[in-house]
Amino acid sequence: MIYGAMKVAVGGPLKLAFRPWVEGIEYVPAEGPAILASNHLSFSDSFFLPAVLDRKVTFIAKAEYFTTPGVKGRMTAAFFKGVGQLPVDRSGARGAGQAAIQSGLDVLERGELFGIYPEGTRSPDGRLYRGKPGGLARVALASGAPVIPVAMIDTEKIQPPGKVVPKLMRPGIRIGKPLDFSRYQGMEHDRFVLRALTDEVMYEIMTLSGQEYVDIYATAAKRQLADAAKAEKQAQKQAGQARKEKEAEEATEREAGGQEADKAAGTERSGS
């Protein structure tokens, strides 16, 4: 009931303002469990996809959205619960993984749609990164639910990371045919199977989205970008310090030259 009210309150204005285009919506089943595996370009992805579907979609979200103290924190928690987000504590990698898997299985056991981002985090530069096999593959194999690849298009241009006010433009959502992984049933502990399943889904997302694929994890890419930014900042700091030292040295040389000139002028006057 709360989800329905939030869908009307949030989804309606969202569709009206941004007019997202959708392809392949017929691939989302009218009933029964299914996994929507999507690329992740923007914070708004979790709002645009549910807005265009008739059925409820449940995503997992970091627990911090639900535990922030104060009035603002309670309002944020109520909002995320209302739009179908489930809290997962990501403080421990193993615990977070298991919590995410169990959350997904609970949703699918109720015959609902479970949304997941295989990359594990938002793309830092609009490219598609390697999918993490732990969550998606394990949920798919343990539940037997079909995996539906989804491509969010241009949402990063609407609300890039760090931007609060969105830009009014038309994003796209392209949905692919359901993928059946029943051939791998009972092999959820085989890491090669988990990798193969995840890579197959990521290939379909890449085909749908047209994104450039990068065969590293997005978290590693973010670390590389952060390290590069830090190194550039340090280099600029060192260059600035070197420039100041050079300016100080030149000022000292000019002062010394002026003193020598004054001395020479004084000697010349004495001789005359």
Residues 240-261: pLDDT tens digits? 887 888 888 887 878 777 777 6
Residue 238 C-alpha from the chain's centroid: 33
- CB atoms near residue 157 (< 10 Å): 14
Q: Which of 82, 132, 122 is nearest to 222 (CA)?
A: 122
pLDDT of residue 246: 84
pLDDT of residue 23: 98
Q: How far apart are CA 197 and CA 78, in angstroms?
A: 35
Q: How far apart are CA 134 and CA 24, in angstroms?
A: 27
- Give tens-digit pLDDT for 43-71: 889 889 999 999 999 998 766 666 677 76
Residue type, 90: R
The two tokens of residue 81 are 């619960």
- Give tens-digit pLDDT for 189-229: 899 999 999 999 999 999 999 999 999 999 999 888 788 77
Strands (DSSP E) contained in 178-225 are 213-214
Model's pTM, two decimal places?
0.80
